Amino acid sequence: MRRVATFRGARRLKDLTTGRIIETDEIDIKGTDINFEKVWIAHILMALEEIGNKKIKVLEILIKNRDSGNKVLLTQRQIARLSKASLVTVNITMKALLRAKFIKRMGSGVYQISPNVMFKGSHDRRMYMLLKYQREDKK
C-alpha cells in the first residue's frame, strides 16, 4: 500500500492540560492501492462468452450474480441451470475455483468470491472485506 500525504495548512491548537497554544501543520495521510488493474467485467464477460466453454459460463454466472459483499447465493443446481452446463461440469469447476482460492464455500448454496480477485467499492470497504474474508478462513 502506498501512502499519500496532503498538506492542509497551518493550525493553532490549544493543549487542554497546560493551556499552551501550539502552532502545527495539518497533514492528512491516506493509504492507496497500488499495482492494481482496473477491469471492465462486462467487456471480459462478453469476450469469455465468445469462447463458449461451459466452465467459463459457470464463472460468468458467479460474477454476474455476486452481491455487494462478493457473495453468490446459488446452489450448484441453480448455477447449472443458469449456465446451461451439466451438474458434473459445475461441480468440477467449483472445486477448481475453490482450490485456486477464487471462491470459498460459506454454506449450502453460498459462495464468496475472494476480494483479492475482484471487488466493487471503495478502498476502505475492500480492506474491510479482505480482513473479514481472511478472518473467516481462520475459523
**Distance of alpha carbon 85 from alpha carbon 77, whole angstroms:** 10
> Which domains, and CATH codes, for the chain?
2-32 (no CATH), 53-138 (1.10.10.10)
pLDDT, one tens digit per residue, over 6-54 is 777 888 888 888 999 988 877 777 766 655 556 666 667 666 666 668 8
| Backbone angles phi and psi of 55, in degrees to 5 | -65, -35
pTM of the complete model beyond 0.75: no
Measured CA to CA, the distance from residue 106 to residue 10 in angstroms comes to 50
Please report how many Cα atoms fall inside a 13 Å half-sphere around the Cα of residue 99, on the Cβ side.
Answer: 6
- Residue of 138, 125, 117 lying closest to 37 (CA atoms): 117
